[in-house]
Every structure is written in structure tokens, then in C-alpha cells.
Amino acid sequence: MKTKFYLKGLNCPNCSAKIVDDIKKYDGINDVNYDLINEMLYVEHEKIEDLHKKIEDSVNKFEDGIEVLLADNNSQKNDEEDDEKEDFKKNIIIYSFVLLMLIVNHFVDYNLNVKKIVYLALYVAVGYEVVFSAFKNILKGQIFDEQFLMMIATFSAIAIGEYPEAVAVMLFYSVGELLQDIALDNSRKNIKSALEIKPEFANVLDDKGILITYKPEDVKVGQIILVKPGEKVPLDGEIIEGESYLDTSILTGESVPIKAVVGEELKSGSINKSHAIKLRVTKEYSDGAIAKIIDMVENASQRKANVERKITKFAKVYTPVVCAIALLLVVFGPSLFKIELREAVYRACVFLVISCPCAFIISVPLGIFGGIGAASKNGVFVKGGNYLEALKDVGIFVFDKTGTITKGVFEVSNIKSYEGFSEEDVLEIAAAGEMSSNHPIAKAIVRKSKNKININDVVDFEEVPGKGIKYILHGKEVLVGNSKIVDAEEVEGTNIFVSYDKKLIGEITVSDIIKPEAKDFINSLKKNNIKTYMLSGDEVTVTENVAKEVGIDHAVGGLLPEDKVAELIKIKEREKKLISFVGDGVNDSPVIAVSDIGISMGMSGSDIAVEASDIVILKDNLNKIIDGIKISRNTVNIVNQNIILAFAVKVLVLGLAGLGHASIWLGVFADVGVALLAVLNALRALKPKLN
């Protein structure tokens, strides 16, 4: 089972990493992940009676003042922003007063001992929370955290008589932490706003026509809802009255409104732009498009990018190593560099200040999740940072044909009938069974028919993946599909599409249309040195012709679902490159699951395919894959920039400090200042250039 906890106020990524490691030690815990953006802790576990208390114990061991609440607790965010504003005002007043008194005390000439007392008072005013937290953590056996390191560094500065610098550094550090928290909070809000897509309410019409407001989760299938202009469509439903233009950009990234009329199925999350419409709810909220998207986004933070995992491992080593070097500098510095012990201690203080890895482990997840937010705004929903990071490295794209390269909108173009059956008989017999199928060809046959046969006359319906359907109609077995389903059942003849009572009664020819953007899309992939394949269950000749027309490098037709899997495995073994499979149907789910990155086209496709895929593209447009690749590259570039910036500045300042050319002030900048810059840079991931 999985439980979500809201850790109100946990902004320290270093602390959160320690908390996660501590929780993992408990018996019955299978996995733990912390989402820094949403302050959510995800715990996969067996049945544990005192789980909540264990989580609280682990949190309190590393960080004080953090509320541990079940994520379903709606009171978790009450008055939170007001509290933050009050804390901000209080801190600004304190820091301003300390800065003013520090300047006065430094430049006004009076008794030296009194000056020292004033400096100490100012130090307590600005640093008591840091020192208090450090002592509490020491009692818990926790050292090498940021508060402890700052306390040791400033205490050492005071011990060697650098009173003004100790106060100034603690002030600079506290102001930097405040600005960092503000930047982090703003980053969170920006990312959340990019993903703020949940409808807040639904206007339900009762039996008497009275409008009642419900939460979307409380509305049942079959109820009638009214969506007014400017409101979000709260649940998936069919329009039964009115027509309007809808903004689907939340779902598809497409800014041009689309027209919706009576009979059309609408996805939750779209915004009504012009006229009021009534819908009959067809899916409960939890099964609707918007709930699936929100679930995808929430779970994305649990699948860490490779760079995140590496940085977390690096951070665990970085602080102890830098602290060890600082200690060695105190012990051996005087003899090695021919300096006084006081100078060696000062240089070591700079090392201690720089030893916190926050700049690394704040900016990386912020950048990754910012990229996920940018992709979501453009209709590309990525199920994890690992997939976003890997998308830029895909060397081979493998496509299904129907509904992916082609529109998947079929039309019946010809009907042949045999054994005394009319063309209409063949069509109606086939349509009777195809009513129970969601395949695009099935829908074309049903559209063409007049629905003369009652669907209740169809029994023992079975869909045979990659072959067709079989069922009993009026006591006789009917097979509808390609030649494979017929051959498997030993029906006389070949190329049989419709059989009735073991006899060939007709063939139905359908045609499909290639997507208009397909050729340019394939060319774009080739320009990026990406190979392309197409695997299809359609006839070999048809498959090869489509591949040739759009420029796909290799194509294999006549494949069953298991054949597609085998063929993909062969491609992986032969090419030795990262492979992505792109499809949309129920038959694609096995091959999507075994590819390195599975991409499904559109929520209108199979739920199984959407579930199996790693990336879901809601707008049925292949160019969204190009957008996804660009966002992946942009995000990884920004993350790498932050890592290089933090590493370069820290190494530079450490080197200068070791040689005696860096002050504690510069050390604080290398810690807090760089972290602040990295957070601000991470925000750029939300606005990639796609043109």
C-alpha cells in the first residue's frame, strides 16, 4: 500500500534526503520518496500500525518544527501563507536592526569591551535560531548539518577575535537563507500553477432542474452537469444540450479553441469559452482524463532522474570530505603554509561554510520538475524525471502505423459478398460484433452500417489481439478480421474478412489517411540522426507503402502483438541504442512496456496503452514528440548549468580559502548565494524555446 504525508515547512533538501534514508530502515517499508516541490512524502509499505508516529520520529530527528500530516487532511494549508508573511516581516525587522547596529558599532569609537558585548548581542539576535537548532541536532546525534557548520564557523571567528565578521557572516547567511526560501517558494508556486488543472466544482442539475454545486469527486455517472462560459469541464461527459468553443490547452497544449456540439465526448479539464452546455457524465472523476493527468504529474516526482540520484550520492560524501579537509587545515596548516594557528582556523571556517551541498540538491529536482511542468503545459505528460532526462538521448523511434503515423480514421471503401449474402448482410453481421470493439476499423464498420441487428443477439464476444473478433450470432460462429483469425479457425479460402458458420461470406475494404505532419516529423528526426522503424499488424504491402511515403527507414508488417515485442527486442540487440516505441492502441501496450521509453498518443487511445507508457501525448500530433525532445534537452542543459556553476564556484572558493585569499563572506556566497542563483536559473526550465 502507499500513503502520502504532507511535511509542512520541509524546505531543506539535505535534511529530506536524511529523513528518507532513516524511514527506509523501518521494517515493512518498501520504498520512500520525497517531493520537494509539493512537500509530499510518498511511502510504500506493508501494514504498519504506528506508521504516522514513525514518520514523525524520523522527521523530528533531523528537522524541528515540521508538521507531519496525512495528505488527505484539508486543513494542512490553512493560514500557511499568512504565517509565512508574518515570519517574513519579523525577520526583515530583525535583520534590518542588526545591520544598522552592526554599522554603528563598527564605525562609532567607544569602549572595546562594550563593543564586544554589543557584537555578541547582535550575534544572538540574528543567529539564535541557527545555534539553537545546531545544539538540538547535536543532542540527537546529528552533526555536519548546515546549522552546525555555520555555528562552528562563526564561533571560531569569535574565538579568534573576528567579532564583526562573525555577526556579518551570520547575518548574510540568514538573509541568504530567507531569500533562498522565498525563491524556492516562488519556484514551487510557478511550477504548481503550470500544473494547476484540477476543476474545483461541478454544477449538477437534479431531477427538478435545480442547480447544486458538488465536488467533482462526488458526482456520479449519468448525472447531468451544466458548464458555464469560463468554467472548466469538471468530469468527462457527453454533450446533450448546447454547443460551444472549448480551450483544450490544459490537456493538449493547443491554444486554438475547438468547437464542440451535441453528441461529442468532452474530456475533463477543458475550459468552456463561449456558451453554456449540458453534459451527461460518462466517467467518475477518478476515471476521467484530468484525474489521470494529475496522478501522472504527482507520481512523476517519485521517478528520479539519473542526475538526481547521482547528486544525492555525491552530497552524502561532499560534506564529510570538506569538513575533514578543514580539520586537516587546522592541524597541519600552520606548518605546511607557515601561518599562525589563528589564520589556519580562519581558513578552515571558510571551508565549513562552503561544505553544505544545498546548491546541488535544491536546483536539480527544481529544474527537472520545472521541465515536467513545461512539458505538461505543452500537452506532453511525462511520468518521471528519468524519462524526461532520457528522451533527449533516444537514438531510435519505433512507430505503430494505425492511429500513430496514420489518422486511424477509417472509411469503408468497398464490400464484397459471397454465398448468397448481400453486401448489406455482410456489413450488418460484421457491425453487430464490431459494436463491442474500440478498434478504429471496427468504428468505421459500425458507422457505415444501419445497426439492423440487435447487439443483444451477439454472445460469447471475444477480441483476438492482432487478428480480429469472434462471436456467436443467431447460434452461428462469426469471425471478423484479417486472414490470420480465419486461418487459425480453418475456414476455407484465404484473405477472408467476414465468415459466418465456417463459410466465407464477404470482404470489407477500409482505407486510412496518413497524418499531414508525419513526413515533416520523420524528417525532423532524421536531421537529429535518429533512426526510424515502423511495426504494424497491417498487411506487409500496406505497411511498406506508408513507410516509404513518409520516409521511415525500416518497416515490418503483418505482426501480432507478440511479434512486435520480438521484433523490438531484435532491434535493441542489433542497434544498441536507446529505443522509444510510439503507439496508441490496446495491441501496443506489450511493446510499449518493453521499450526504453514508451509513448502513447492521446488519452483517447487504449487505457492499457496509456498505463503502460512512460510519456502520454494528449494532442494527436506527432510534432509534440519533437517538443518533448526540445524540452528534455533544455531541462538537462539547465540542470547541468546549475551543477557546473555550484561545483566551479565552490572549488574556486575552496582553493582560494586554502591559500588564504578568501573571506568567510565569500564562503557564504559560495554556499547560499550560489544556491539562490541556481534556484532562479532552474525556473528557466518552465519556459523552453520550442520554435
pLDDT tens readout for residues 332-346: 999 999 999 999 999
Phi, psi torsion values for 278, nearest 5 degrees:
-110, 140
Q: Which pLDDT score, from 0 to 100, does residue 656 have?
A: 95
Q: Please give the model's pTM, rounded to 2 decimal places.
A: 0.73
> Can you state the percent helix, strand and coil of the chain, rounding each to 5?
55, 20, 30
Is the pLDDT assigned to residue 488 strictly greater than 50? no
Whether 73 shows a pLDDT value over 50: the answer reads no
The pLDDT of residue 75 is above 50: no
d(CA 235, CA 279): 9
- CB distance 552 to 399 below 8 Å: yes
d(CA 674, CA 680): 10
**DSSP of 320-331, one letter per residue?**
HHHHHHHHHHHH
**Per-residue pLDDT reduced to its tens digit, 598-619:** 998 865 555 555 677 889 887 8
pLDDT confidence of residue 74:
44
Query: Looking at 282-385, which runs of residues are DSSP E strands?
Result: 380-382
Average pLDDT over residues 412-436: 90
**pLDDT band per the 50, 70, 90 thresholds, residue 191:** low
Which runs of E-coded beta strand occur in 613-677? 615-617
Averaged pLDDT score across all residues of the chain: 85
Cell numbers 534590518 correspond to 96
Query: Which pLDDT value is given to residue 369?
Result: 84
Determine the pLDDT at residue 552.
97
**CA–CA gap between residue 336 and residue 686 (Å, rounded):** 49
Whether residue 294 has pLDDT greater than 60: yes
**What are the CA-CA distances from residue 422 to residues 317, 419, 505 (Å)?**
78, 9, 9
Residues paired with residue 214 on neighbouring β-strands, in sequence order: 202
Percent of all residues in the chain with a pLDDT value above 70, rounded to a whole number: 91
Residue 311 cell numbers, joined: 547528486
Q: In the structure grid, which three cell numbers stand for residue 367, read together?
A: 529544474
Whether the predicted pLDDT of 254 surpasses 80: no
Give residue 76's pLDDT band: very low, low, confident or very high (50, 70, 90).
very low
| Whether pLDDT at 188 is above 80 | no
Which residue is associated with the grid cell 528520479? 304
pLDDT at site 486: 58
CA dist 54 to 23, 35, 48, Å? Answer: 8, 19, 10
226, with CB counted inside 10 A (0-12, 13-18, 19+), is middle
Residues 538-576 pLDDT 10s = 778 888 989 999 999 999 988 888 889 999 999 999 998
Q: Set out the domains of the chain in order of their start, with CATH numbers.
A: 2-70 (3.30.70.100), 202-290 (2.70.150.10), 407-513 (3.40.1110.10)
pLDDT of residue 520: 96
Residue 400 annotated among the catalytic residues of the structure: yes
Q: What pLDDT does 17 receive? A: 84
What's the rounded mean pLDDT across residues 501-510? Answer: 87
Q: What is the mean pLDDT of residues 230-249?
A: 90
- The residue annotated as part of the active site, out of 400, 538, 627, 671, is 400
Residues 40/7, Cβ–Cβ less than 8 Å:
yes
Output the 3-class SS for 417-430. ECCCCCHHHHHHHH
pLDDT at 603: 56
Local confidence band at 464 (pLDDT 50, 70, 90 cut-offs): confident
Higher pLDDT: 136 or 408? It is 136
The answer, yes or no, to whether residue 263 has pLDDT greater than 80, is yes
